[in-house]
Amino acid sequence: MNQMRAFFFVVNTNGIGEFYKRINPNNMSFLFDSFKGWKQYCLDKDITLYDSVIEYEMTQKNKKEADIWTGLGKAYQVMKEAVDTGLQEDMTSRSGMINNGAKKVYKHPLSVLSPEFQRLIARALAAKEVNSCMGRVVAAPTAGASGILPGTLYTLQEIHQLEDQKILEGLLVGAGIALIIEEKASLAGAVGGCQAETGSAAAMASGAMVFCLGGSIDQIFNAVAITIQCMLGLVCDPVAGLVEIPCVVRNASASAIANSSAQIALADVSAVIPVDECIEAMGEIGASMETRYKETALGGLAATLTGQEIAKRVLIQDIEILPDEELPQ
């Protein structure tokens, strides 16, 4: 094998993975390298998208199937509790920047679009406010984006009267989507900006929603592509470095985009640029994004006059600066 690898390396530096995939197309370890490969794998084996995710977790992570369903059930339960907690309990963050916004939205007498849309936005805010206020959440895929799957799936389940089992299958589809984004781009704000966190969560949500509503593999992947197209370029510029402003409202807007993309994809309106290429574009944009837009709180909203004033107030100013001879070596 090693000789073969060396040989192919000389012939074609990009061909190693492709070569192994060709000689062993059913090798699970290549499954979440691309959406194209994921679809082909499921078609070849005649299994659903979520079956393949279960199989991956069992063969690559040595998990038992029953434990996977139990873990997903627990995760969805925590997501729903986060929504309810955010709408019922006091949600004031230590900095004071987050102050019970979700409840105000939920109770407001005037609906801009519809009561369902109002609830969607309130729920996404609620779960994310719980995160900002040191409550319990599911990082999906990250803590900064922890309001998006709860807000969208809770609302979808309510509107369409879906069984919990269907939502758990949708979460598996979302996990498969995130595994590929992690492989081809990034899920971390410090690496790819906000697009990597709220963008990825919105893509997971949109794909999961289309799946739950009976969409085809192409429609699911199209929803992912359209969502990514809408979230591209978003920078991570948290005020005072806290996971509060603008993270909380971006969880609401990302949830809205997940819904608009699902609506577009279900109608078979093509994203034109294939999903794998959309993810690659996200990776390329993330790689060329300046450091001050990657969670460092040095650019964007964090660098505004007000942003800096808030930082001065909430960050610890009286830290020690040790003389050289006392510094750890």
3-state secondary structure 16-49: HHHHHHHHCCCCHHHHHHCHHHHHHHHHHHCCCH
By CB under 8 A, which span of 10-18, 35-43, 181-189, 273-281 interacts with another protein?
181-189
How far apart CA 49 and CA 187 sit, in angstroms, is: 21
Give 2 or 62: the residue with its C-beta nearer to another protein: 62
Contact indicator for 138, 146 with CB cutoff of 8 Å: yes
Give 56 or 264: the residue with its C-beta nearer to another protein: 56
How far apart CA 55 and CA 68 sit, in angstroms, is: 10
Tell whether residue 144 is a contact of another protein (CB under 8 A): yes
Q: Please provide the distance, in angstroms rounded to a whole number, between the alpha carbons at the two ends of the chain.
A: 44
Give 68 or 194: the residue with its C-beta nearer to another protein: 68
Q: Which residues contact 316 (CB under 8 A, 6 or more apart)?
A: none
Least separation, in Å, of the C-beta of 52 and another protein? Answer: 11
Tell whether residue 303 is a contact of another protein (CB under 8 A): no
Tell whether residue 309 is a contact of another protein (CB under 8 A): no
Give 141 or 199: the residue with its C-beta nearer to another protein: 141
Among 42, 72, 217, 252, binds another protein (CB under 8 A): 72
Q: Which residues contact 173 (CB under 8 A, 6 or more apart)?
A: 49, 50, 53, 207, 208, 211, 220
Tell whether residue 325 is a contact of another protein (CB under 8 A): no
> E strand or H helix at 209, and its extent?
helix 200-212
Tell whether residue 66 is a contact of another protein (CB under 8 A): no
Q: Which residues contact 292 (CB under 8 A, 6 or more apart)?
A: 237, 298, 299, 300, 303
Give 145 or 264: the residue with its C-beta nearer to another protein: 145
Q: Rg of the chain over CA atoms, in angstroms? A: 21
Nearest residue to 262 via CA among 125, 160, 152: 152
Interacting residues with another protein between 93 and 132 (CB under 8 A): 93-95, 130-132
Joined tokens for residue 197 = 């966190």
Chain Cα centroid distance, residue 236: 14
Tell whether residue 175 is a contact of another protein (CB under 8 A): yes
Least separation, in Å, of the C-beta of 317 and another protein? Answer: 8
Tell whether residue 154 is a contact of another protein (CB under 8 A): no
Q: ∠ at Cα 203 (267, 152), nearest 5°?
A: 80
Tell whether residue 143 is a contact of another protein (CB under 8 A): yes
Least separation, in Å, of the C-beta of 68 and another protein? Answer: 7
Give 281 or 314: the residue with its C-beta nearer to another protein: 314
Give 3 or 90: the residue with its C-beta nearer to another protein: 90
Contact indicator for 302, 311 with CB cutoff of 8 Å: yes
Tell whether residue 24 is a contact of another protein (CB under 8 A): no
By CB under 8 A, which span of 16-24, 88-96, 264-272, 284-292 interacts with another protein?
88-96
Tell whether residue 190 is a contact of another protein (CB under 8 A): yes
Joined tokens for residue 317 = 């100013």
3-class state of residue 316 by DSSP:
coil
Binding site residues, another protein, CB under 8 A: 29, 32, 53, 56-57, 60-61, 63, 68, 71-72, 74-75, 78, 93-95, 130-144, 146, 149, 171-172, 174-175, 178-179, 182-183, 187-188, 190, 204, 240-244, 314-316, 319-322, 327-329
